Structure 1
Amino acid sequence: MENQSTVVSFGVRLASQVRRLGNPVVVGLDPSLDLIPPAFLSGGGPSAAVERFCLAILDAVGDLVPVVKLQSAYFEVLGGDGVHAMAKVAASATARGLLVIIDAKRGDIGSTSAAYAEAYLGPRAFLPCDAMTVSPYLGWDSIEPFLSVALANHKGVFVLAQTSNPGARDLQFATVNGKPVYQLVAEHVARYDQAEEPSLGLVVGATFPGTAEALRSSGARSWFLVPGIGAQGGSLDTLVRFRRPDGLGALLSSSRALTFPDRFGGAAAWSEEAVRSSTRQLIDTVVAHRAA
């Protein structure tokens, strides 16, 4: 039986990892078959190729960053074998000491939402992960099972507040009762987790730094998972807007720019060293911005 006196929350584990590695970079694993280098595609079928590719990424960056984020869609599209590959990649990342976020953006109602929560965050989850992403746009009852199950099992959740895509403006900037929807999402999440180091966070895209600044100005202490660095055009020049006063609180996620570093010649010239070099370059740039 788990010794409750030694259990550490996701928020505390995350802060510890970021401090230990000295950077808040998240490497996103988006293993699109259209982009995976040819060397990984021979033998064993698509799911085996995706697994080999992701494990090579872990070999390249596993000692550099605190967190990896697995985009579940690229595994699920391959069927059961793909889901099995995702579980094996997550297990390998965990064994290497990395924290694992599953980017699934789940959100449903009632018992369905509860089942999703148990599947990813419960004691009998089908893969090892530390946190997942969820969507709140079916209402609060669609995310509350995730928040409750996560906290009960010392896991984390990142709720979509302001995403990085252009269409985010369609709903997330809408004003309700005098506040933008993303602010209402942040306030609801904060009510669930008032720990000194929160385990429940928000997705706040790098392409909307004004949102991050507004949330921090209103007192938000949650960790922000910040997608959009690199391929989507998010700028590190705005990093200061995402951080808390203690310098923590912002996880900077980059996927294609790191795992498919085309500046090294594209898929045909792909190598673990190229991925490692791209990741080191991002880390160095992030650290420089944090010190500024």
Structure 2
Amino acid sequence: MVSEGRAVVNDPGRRRRQGRSVLTVSQARSFADRLMAAIEGKNSRLCVGLDPRVADLPEVVMRSDGLSVPTVEAVIRFCVLIMKAVAPYAVAVKLQAAFFEVLRVGGDMAYFALAEAASRLGLITIADVKRSDIGSTAEAYAQAYLGTPDAPSPFDAVTVNIYLGLDGVRPFLETAQATGKGLFVLVRTSNPSAGEVQDLRLEDGRLVHEAMADLVRQWGAEMVGARGYSDVGAVVGATVPRHLELLRGRMPQQFFLVPGYGAQGAGPQDVVGAFDDQGFGAIVNSSRGIIYAYRQQPYASRYAPEEFAAAAAEAARDTRDAINRALQDVGKLRLN
């Protein structure tokens, strides 16, 4: 059964226009509606990726009163300070599970504790776990990260691998629908070797990633919020910009989570194809370019390592503004 407040619509653009400013982030039942409200509230399309590689953490979080602190504690301190710094400029944070799993004991606790902290800061939280399995195992993964009505999760959405087909995705769809959460399904990723599989041509003439996009559109058709976007979104990388524009046309009701910005080479002009004609429909992820901005120019010349959070704040603001300007340049956004 489709949850209350959702409907399949034929004109998503009309629904977005009619639904403007009706729901706040906290009021919206649909994940996509909450994301839309967050974008409007901050005039931002930025997602900050939390990839706290221990070897890259600044010394200031590794020590307290001259003494070394436990690694898990250092990771938490680093991430909390980053989240507080970027919260005015970002709508979401994406927590990469691998950097917490490698911590072993305590890593899982830190992962969920940071998601709770991000929620308190008003940030949309994405569990970047890229899970996929079938049956009860997939159901357990879905409930672990999206929660249940009786045992909520601090995460708003989760990344999902499509390789197992509907058997691997159905438990996530059902759990997301029951909890008002969202999915971002891998469609066309940003890594250099993605085309080895994702750009193969099928017998019907479609590329593999186009077939994936068609499945995602189909799976999300009954999970569309009041603003015209589905709670089932897609991961589409920015490193091949033409894919963004083509897949936007193929998935008009899917929110895109767009990796590949910054450290992987994509810039603001490369991501505009991910957005609809009103500047909605995507959030752009930047990880290393923001959380380690203090090590990169122009920020390295202005901030000491212990000022890493201030550098991240400026980098987040600059990234937000650069994306907005690029959208304005192509007529997809009006800036006051």
Q: TM-score under structure 2 normalisation?
A: 0.82
Alignment-mate amino acid for residue 312 of structure 2: V
Instruction: Summarize the alignment of residues 20-169 of structure 1 with structure 2, pairs less than 5 Å apart.
Output: 20-42=41-63, 43-123=68-148, 127-169=153-195
Tell me whether 117-126 or 20-29 shows the greater mean CA deviation. 117-126
Larger radius of gyration: 2
Q: Hey, what does 1:11 align to over in structure 2?
A: 32
- Conservation of the 8 A alpha-carbon contact between 1:37 and 1:270: no
Aligned residue identity for 1:141? D
Which amino acid is 1:85 matched to?
Answer: A
CA contact (8 A) 1:40 1:49 kept: yes
Tell me the residue number matched to 1:237. 269
Runs of 4+ in structure 1 deviating by more than 6 angstroms, as ranges, are none
Are 1:72 and 1:104, in contact at CA under 8 Å, matched by a contact in 2?
yes
Q: Provide structure 1 residue ranges, at least 5 long, that are not aligned to the other structure.
A: none
Match of 1:188 in 2: 215
Q: How high is the sequence identity, in percent, across the aligned residues?
A: 38
SS in 2 for 1:178: coil
Q: Residue in 1 aligned with 2:320?
A: 283
| 8 Å CA contact 1:216, 1:241 repeated in 2 | yes
Q: How many residues align?
A: 290
What letter is aligned with 2:163?
A: Y
- What does the per-residue CA deviation read over 1:79-117, in whole Å, with 9 as the maximum and x for residues that have no partner? 130110111111011011111001001011221111101
Q: Report if the CA contact (8 A) 2:292-2:312 is conserved.
A: yes
Counterpart secondary structure, 2:49: strand
Q: Which residue of 2 aligns with 1:171?
A: 197
Measure how far apart 1:250 and its partner are: 1.3
SS of match in other structure, 2:198: coil
* Aligned-partner Cα distance in 2 for 1:120–1:267: 36
Aligned to 2:289: 257
Q: Deviations over 1:100-137 (max 9, x none)?
A: 00100101122111110111112256741100101111
Distance of 1:126 and 1:151 partners within structure 2: 13
**Residue 141 of structure 1, CA deviation:** 1.1
SS in 1 for 2:127: strand
Unaligned runs of 5+ in 2: 6-26, 330-336
* Aligned residue identity for 2:85: A
Kept after mapping to 2: 8 A contact 1:120/1:132: yes
- In the superposition, relative to structure 1, how do residues 210 and 125 fare at CA in structure 2: closer, same or farther (>3 Å)? farther
| Bigger mean CA deviation after superposition, 189-198 or 70-79 | 189-198
**More displaced 10-residue stretch of structure 1: 236-245 or 78-87:** 236-245
**Cα-Cα RMSD:** 1.9
